[in-house]
Amino acid sequence: MKFVLNVYLDAVDPKAPAVPHRVRATDDEEFAATVARSGELIDAHVFADPSTNTVVRYRDGALLVSDGPYVGTRYATSCYVLDCENLARAVELAASHPATRQHAVEIRPLMSAAGWEM
């Protein structure tokens, strides 16, 4: 079964003091290496800083394109595409990511063009 693990961090007010429990890039590198060794990693990406985002949406029939992060309480920092035996294994792998200690890792089953793989 294929799953996407999305790693989320809490949005931080730029005026707030530094947050010591931010996920480090090395955390993602170590996690990706561990999952690669298990043979379950298909692909992985770490996202650029949210300040580089472009947000696209329609409001009242007009296309709005804006720079900068989508305003929300959390933002995605990285994602992993895994091929696991089952959801329980995906949970086990997600639980090993350092982001779960202070933030969140979301597990989403992937659909193929033919529908659910499950």
Q: How confident is the model at residue 68 (pLDDT cuts 50, 70, 90)?
A: confident
Whether 15 shows a pLDDT value over 60: the answer reads no
Residue 87's domain spans which residues? 2-112
Whether 116 shows a pLDDT value over 60: the answer reads no
Give the chain's domain count.
1
The residue written with tokens 């955390």 in the block is 27
Task: Say what the pLDDT of residue 17 is.
Answer: 46
Task: Say what the pLDDT of residue 24 is.
Answer: 66
Q: How confident is the model at residue 26 (pLDDT cuts 50, 70, 90)?
A: confident
Does residue 94 lie within any of the structural domains? yes
Task: Say what the pLDDT of residue 118 is.
Answer: 47
| Three-class secondary structure assignment of 94-116 | HHCCHHHHCCEEEEEECEECCEE
Percent of the chain with pLDDT over 70: 81
Does residue 117 lie within any of the structural domains? no
Does residue 118 lie within any of the structural domains? no
Which stretch of DSSP H or E encloses residue 30?
Answer: helix 25-38
Q: How confident is the model at residue 23 (pLDDT cuts 50, 70, 90)?
A: low
Does residue 26 lie within any of the structural domains? yes
Domain CATH number, residue 23: 3.30.70.1060
> What gap in Å lies between CA 88 and CA 64, rounded to an integer?
40
Whether 34 shows a pLDDT value over 50: the answer reads yes
**Other Cβ atoms within 10 Å of 77 Cβ, number:** 22
